[in-house]
Amino acid sequence: MTELKEVFMDIRKELRGADKYAHEAVKHKAEYPALADVYHRIASDKLTHSEMLHKQAHEMAMKHHLEPMWDIEDWITTHDMDEIKKCMENYRK
């Protein structure tokens, strides 16, 4: 299903952005705290976008009985989201 694949690609794009900005937030926290806060906010927004798309992808997969495809993508996406959340938690410390 082409639409579902596109949504998964969009999720990955958002997650790549979230990961990049989360690491930038950590990197700049000490010397440029205001900039780091902006990076953290952008990372948080991108993570929220990916979660919104993830929910829609789940609904699409279930509607079209694509559970095996969903299981693989869900595992990858959830793993990536968890890694980004850990990085964002490090920023808060």
Q: Where are the domains of the chain?
A: 12-92
- Read off the pLDDT of residues 1-59 as tens digits, 9 standing for 90 and up: 789 999 999 999 999 999 999 999 999 999 999 999 999 999 999 999 999 999 999 99
- Read off the pLDDT of residues 57-71 as tens digits, 9 standing for 90 and up: 999 999 999 988 889
pLDDT number for residue 67: 87
Q: Are 14 and 53 in contact (CB under 8 A)?
A: yes
pTM of the model: 0.90
